[in-house]
Structure 1
Amino acid sequence: MTEPILPRIRPEIAALAPYRQGKQAGPDAFKLSSNENPFDPLPSVLEALQGTTPINRYPDASATRLRERLGARYGVGVDNVHVASGSVAILYQLVQAAASVGDEVIYAWRSFEAYPGLVLVAGATAVQVPLAEGGRHDLDAMADAVTDRTRAIIVCTPNNPTGPIVTSAEFAAFVDRIPSDVLIILDEAYAEFVTAADAVDGLGERVFETHPNIVVLRTFSKAYGLAGLRVGYAIGHVQVLNAARATGIPLSVTSAAETAAIASLDAEAELLERVAVIVERRTALADGLRSQGWDVPDTQSNFVWLPTGERTDEIAEAFRGADIVVRPFSGDGIRISVGEHESIEKVLRVAADVHS
């Protein structure tokens, strides 16, 4: 039987590995591979979902109610807010809008593993700038990497998967070095977990007003516990966000996601109490690992990073053998999400066994 003749696919896309989600966990395992919120949705959020638009009707294409709510919260117009199916969707839209063949997109590495793929899909060239000591962004090196081909720069703070933040002073000095016609995407997916007083806060500092080339990204997936509904947002200049909207897939934010996000904002005080619990667990986990001799970076997110190097796959397998699903990055390290209270002691026990 002869092989069928298939449509021609761009060679770089054919060679691109699909995004790899954190492994799913069995019924008795702790899933600490995807940075999810371990708490169930609040009862008030579940109640709000009971009254969402029937699924035989299309959602509001622009999520107007949520955009109005976020605009009021941050003191911006509704058109300064863009909502999509997760902040990663907005990342794709912005890179598609800003960069194409012959252009460059700069980001730190290692950082969020979706970055290389979204740049490649746009046809642009990725410029990966190695992290500095301690898993931190090297913003000076990133600024040095700017050329006349640079169209966008992504800054992830706290950095996924290593955890450290970019400080407000560092970010301000960095922005001053970047041409005003280069898009700066400030990816703050884990902002609610930050306790460091000197961390940059793109929305609180309103950096998008003083520098229209900056777009700030946030999500409801992590702190708000809506990862399964996929809803994130961006705040920025209207023309930049219009470009993102133009590249987006229509009707991608469901009515359920919009309703749950609004209900979560209504219950924000209660949700942030849960965030405080996760931060306490993060501190206990990081301190416990450091006491064993692990070189854990100063994480400000809902995960910790183990720089396991060549032993990464071996150590990840040891965790799996103990019913703990973690996120390994072969040859580099392991990211462990902060999960249920009962998981902390178990993670520390396995980490102590494999440490040498």
Structure 2
Amino acid sequence: MSDLRLREDLSAIPDYKPGKTTTQSAPTGPVFKVSSNENPYPPLPSVASAIADRITHINRYPETAATAVVALLCERFQVSPVNIVLGSGSVEVVSQLMRATAGEGDEVMFAWRSFEAYPMLVRAAGATPVAVPLTADHRHDLDAMRAAITPRTRLILVCNPNNPTGTTIGEDELTAFLDAVPADITVVIDEAYVHFNERTDSPSGIEYFRRYPNVAVAHTFSKAYGLAGLRIGYAIAPERLANALRKVAIPFGVTDLAQAAAVASLHAEGELSARVADLIAERERVVGAFQDAGLDLPETQANFIWVPFGDATTAAAELLESHGLLVRPFAGEGFRVTVAEREANDLLVRLIPELAALRTPVAAG
């Protein structure tokens, strides 16, 4: 038995479970990992070239200020460099936001179910997670979140579109919510999937950053830009908060390769937008196939689909895995499946009748 002294509260933190993966083949053919919301496309040639050009420099530390990336983001969003803070993916940026605003005895609020890492990161920061149940149609219950604010609340996370449900919020409801949140509480609009959001009245995080002095926005290059393996994300935050984020950030946390890839991606926005449009079209095709089979799903504005399957969730995941589709199941609730390469989407569509035979999901709304 070790005599090492560790933080006792860490026992309350569950292990993060990444999407299941395998290199094996299923009895029926290839296996597709559709459990992690990854972009199925390989890097654009210009992005791959930018990465290759920096390979000979990896003996040096990356530029902490990430000047080139920050300059392009400032130009795009019309903000000052003091408002941009980079991190190793948006998950690390969210962790910075928690550690900069909350500690022991403080509360961090979020909808539930939402991004699985939220409660883990809150506890790792030493704070208390406050999970507010989603509505019956799998959306943020902003009225309930407002009612859950206490003197201990320090940070509120609004994931839009929400992971894993893909649902969104509207401008009017977010405005009413922010008008009611005390000005000393930070509200983070996590827009990891914003590029896939086609809802016309969905709020733009950057506009709310301009309107409210307590709002920050979290973005990532992992999803639409397809840089999940390089880990780069950023926050747009009020200057005082941004300075605090830098104090808790990991030194040299964003690699030189990630910075080069991000710059190249921002210059290749047109090509990447075409890929996003293709994924959105595939999303609508797959959702339509579920609907044709009589299975109602929640609205999704992300690069994944949430299938609320209740007690039949595990059986559904096992069925799909047996045919080569590795989805992300949440036992007793439902499963999330990424909109992936067309071959994987075709396989899912073919299996929908078998899923429908297992159990009709709980209808949205």
Aligned residues: 351
Which of 41, 44, 47 is the equivalent residue of 2:46?
44
Question: Amino acid of the residue matched to residue 268 of structure 1?
Answer: E
Question: Amino acid of the residue matched to residue 9 of structure 1?
Answer: L
Which of 188, 193, 196 is the equivalent residue of 1:193?
196
Instruction: Tell me the CA shift for residue 19 of structure 1.
Output: 1.3
Q: Give the corresponding residue for 1:16.
A: 13
Instruction: Tell me the CA shift for residue 228 of structure 1.
Output: 0.3
Which of 91, 94, 103 is the equivalent residue of 1:88?
91
Instruction: Tell me the CA shift for residue 348 of structure 1.
Output: 2.1
**Rounded Cα–Cα distance in structure 1 between residues aligned with 2:158 and 2:12:** 26
Instruction: Tell me the CA shift for residue 121 of structure 1.
Output: 1.1
Three-state SS of the structure 2 residue aligned to 1:51 is helix
Q: Give the corresponding residue for 2:35.
A: 33
Q: Give the corresponding residue for 1:156.
A: 159
Q: Give the corresponding residue for 2:112.
A: 109
Written as runs of structure 1 = structure 2, the 5 A alignment for 1:132-281 is: 132-203=135-206, 206-281=207-282
Query: What residue ranges of structure 1 are gaps of 5+ in the alignment?
Result: none
Three-state SS of the structure 2 residue aligned to 1:95 is helix
Q: Give the corresponding residue for 2:305.
A: 304
Question: Amino acid of the residue matched to residue 108 of structure 1?
Answer: A
Q: Which segment is superposed worse, 20-29 or 265-274? A: 20-29
2:96 matches 1:99 = no
> Structure 1 residues 293 and 26 mapped into 2: Cα distance closer, same or farther (>3 Å)?
farther
Q: Give the corresponding residue for 2:4.
A: 7
Instruction: Tell me the CA shift for residue 14 of structure 1.
Output: 2.7
Three-state SS of the structure 1 residue aligned to 2:305 is strand
Asked if structure 1 preserves the Cα contact closer than 8 Å seen for 2:13 and 2:124, the reply is: no
Three-state SS of the structure 1 residue aligned to 2:284 is helix
Q: Give the corresponding residue for 1:285.
A: 286
Q: Give the corresponding residue for 2:66.
A: 63
Instruction: Tell me the CA shift for residue 62 of structure 1.
Output: 2.4
Tell me the TM-score normalized by structure 1. Answer: 0.96
Instruction: Tell me the CA shift for residue 100 of structure 1.
Output: 1.0
Asked if structure 2 preserves the Cα contact closer than 8 Å seen for 1:295 and 1:307, the reply is: no
Three-state SS of the structure 2 residue aligned to 1:123 is coil
Asked if structure 2 preserves the Cα contact closer than 8 Å seen for 1:158 and 1:188, the reply is: yes
Three-state SS of the structure 2 residue aligned to 1:126 is strand
Question: Amino acid of the residue matched to residue 189 of structure 2?
Answer: L
Tell me the TM-score normalized by structure 2. Answer: 0.94
Q: Per-residue CA shift, 1:99-136, capped at 9, x if unaligned?
A: 11111111000000000101111121111111012211
Q: Which segment is superposed worse, 163-172 or 182-191? A: 163-172
Q: Per-residue CA shift, 1:135-187, capped at 9, x if unaligned?
A: 11011110111111110100000000001111111111110010000000100
**Rounded Cα–Cα distance in structure 2 between residues aligned with 1:351 and 1:12:** 43
Asked if structure 1 preserves the Cα contact closer than 8 Å seen for 2:64 and 2:252, the reply is: yes
Written as runs of structure 1 = structure 2, the 5 A alignment for 1:309-348 is: 309-348=310-349
Question: Amino acid of the residue matched to residue 70 of structure 2?
Answer: R
Asked if structure 2 preserves the Cα contact closer than 8 Å seen for 1:62 and 1:251, the reply is: no
**Rounded Cα–Cα distance in structure 2 between residues aligned with 1:107 and 1:17:** 17
**Rounded Cα–Cα distance in structure 2 between residues aligned with 1:322 and 1:11:** 42
Identity %: 46
Q: Per-residue CA shift, 1:56-106, capped at 9, x if unaligned?
A: 100011212211110111111111111111011011011011111111111
> How much is the aligned-residue C-alpha RMSD, in angstroms?
1.1
Three-state SS of the structure 1 residue aligned to 2:224 is coil
- Structure 1 residue ranges (4+ consecutive) displaced by more than 6 angstroms after TM superposition: none
**Rounded Cα–Cα distance in structure 2 between residues aligned with 1:287 and 1:293:** 10
Asked if structure 1 preserves the Cα contact closer than 8 Å seen for 2:289 and 2:352, the reply is: no
Instruction: Tell me the CA shift for residue 288 of structure 1.
Output: 0.8
Query: What residue ranges of structure 2 are gaps of 5+ in the alignment?
Result: 25-29, 360-365
Asked if structure 2 preserves the Cα contact closer than 8 Å seen for 1:193 and 1:302, the reply is: yes
Q: Give the corresponding residue for 2:27.
A: none
Three-state SS of the structure 2 residue aligned to 1:50 is helix
Instruction: Tell me the CA shift for residue 335 of structure 1.
Output: 0.2
